[in-house]
């Protein structure tokens, strides 16, 4: 028998709609959800069958684990075994764009953690997602709501364009405020914290809070055996279909040498150059503005029919580390 086609419905964040979507999650259905980082694809984190639907909808390999989202600090003990370092970071940065990797509790199905004895946990800040978590009454597993490996979605329209034929519900919470996925810290051994993925919570902030260095872990090659420790660690990820070329700085000579079939993306608005193939992330060149606009601009340029997309790396440290991390993964060879 032919399965009926799915056409995702967009929901405004009304009280009635939130109750309806909470019931859908309790029944094991998938819901595209807004967060302050990027849009996620949520399922009941305690329902292994529902979480498998996430992997099928995204085309996600089973070796890439999911992040579990909780409502309150007391919920952490439902899914993980916290330590003092984890609690210190949680009290300082939650709710917010920080994910902690900790030993998992048996209630979390193996499908969520790719069979590992650890789990990635976050307490989101987005008000609609928090209301949905409260109404659902369970932690929600939610990776980014896009086809695996593609540019992450920062609007409900991005989710619908990518997964609208595979999921039934999308909660529209407006554009993502941060625009980059969460910072991920490995705290399984609190004496040896590791930064697995940079994000809006910077390495300097983590080191001040923990009073110790937090080294950055190396990217993982797709061919590496075994399950990933956390999502977003593959060497190639967040990638448009159009080849990306990275530059420390784009010069006027670079622009003159290229044809009109190549696009150019700057952090700030370039002076004395213009054209349909010239884009920038933020008028004033702020890193927060650049992060917020990055994935939307990559998606727009990817749909523009260009042969290449040239991107200028963000200058500086802090949030620049997160922006450049995403760009380097997006530009990595297949």
pLDDT at 114 over 70: yes
DSSP state of 245: E
Task: Render pLDDT for 36-88 as a digit per residue (tens, 0 to 9).
Answer: 999 999 999 999 999 999 999 999 999 999 999 999 999 999 999 999 999 99
Looking at the chain, list the stretches that DSSP marks H as alpha helix, in order from N- to C-terminal side: 15-26, 48-58, 76-79, 84-93, 110-113, 127-136, 156-163, 203-210, 252-257, 287-302, 319-331
Domain boundaries, the chain: 9-210, 244-331
pLDDT average, residue stretch 246-273: 85
Spatial distance between the Cα atoms of 120 and 231, rounded to a whole number of angstroms:
8
Cβ contacts of 224 within 8 Å, gap of 6 or more: none
Task: Give the percent of the chain with pLDDT over 70.
Answer: 96
pLDDT of the residue at 93: 98
pLDDT tier for residue 219 given thresholds of 50, 70 and 90: low
- Reported as a pLDDT band with limits 50, 70 and 90, residue 223 is very low
Q: Which pLDDT does position 220 carry in this prediction?
A: 54
User: pLDDT per residue over 157-208, tens digit each?
Assistant: 999 999 999 999 999 999 999 999 999 999 999 999 999 999 999 999 999 9
CA-based torsion, 145, 150, 153, 154: positive or negative: positive
Higher pLDDT, 3 or 245: 245
Average per-residue pLDDT for the chain = 93
- Per CATH, the number for 9-210 is 3.90.870.10
Question: What count of other Cβ atoms lies within 10 Å of the Cβ of residue 186?
Answer: 21
């Amino acid at each position: 028998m032919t399965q009926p086609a799915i056409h995702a419905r967009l929901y405004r964040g009304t009280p009635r709609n939130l109750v309806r979507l909470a019931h859908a999650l309790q029944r094991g259905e998938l819901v595209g959800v807004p967060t302050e980082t990027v849009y996620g694809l949520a399922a009941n984190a305690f329902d292994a069958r529902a979480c498998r639907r996430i992997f099928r909808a995204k085309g996600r390999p089973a070796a890439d684990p999911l992040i579990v989202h909780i409502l309150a600090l007391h919920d952490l003990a439902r899914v993980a075994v916290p330590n003092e370092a984890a609690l210190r970071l949680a009290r300082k940065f939650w709710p917010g764009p920080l994910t902690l990797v900790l030993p998992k509790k048996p209630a979390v199905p193996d499908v969520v953690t790719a069979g590992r004895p650890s789990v990635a946990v976050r307490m989101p800040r987005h008000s609609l997602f928090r209301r949905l978590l409260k109404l659902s009454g369970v932690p929600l597993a939610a990776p980014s709501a896009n086809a695996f490996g593609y540019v992450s979605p920062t609007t409900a329209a991005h989710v619908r364009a990518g997964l609208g034929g595979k999921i039934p519900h999308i909660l529209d919470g407006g554009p993502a405020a941060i625009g980059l996925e969460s910072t991920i810290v490995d705290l399984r051994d609190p004496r040896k914290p590791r930064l697995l993925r940079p994000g809006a919570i910077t390495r300097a902030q983590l080191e001040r809070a923990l009073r110790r260095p937090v080294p950055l872990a190396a990217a993982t090659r797709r061919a590496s055996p075994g399950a990933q420790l956390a999502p977003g660690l593959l060497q190639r990820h967040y990638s448009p279909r159009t080849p990306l070329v990275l530059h420390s700085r784009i010069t006027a000579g670079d622009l003159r040498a290229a044809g009109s079939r190549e696009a150019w993306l700057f952090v700030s608005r370039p002076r004395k150059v213009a054209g349909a193939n010239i884009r920038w992330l933020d008028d004033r060149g702020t890193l927060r503005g650049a992060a917020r606009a990055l994935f939307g601009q990559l998606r727009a340029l990817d749909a523009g029919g260009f042969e290449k997309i040239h991107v200028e790396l963000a200058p500086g440290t802090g949030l620049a580390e997160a922006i450049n991390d995403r760009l380097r993964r997006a530009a990595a060879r297949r």
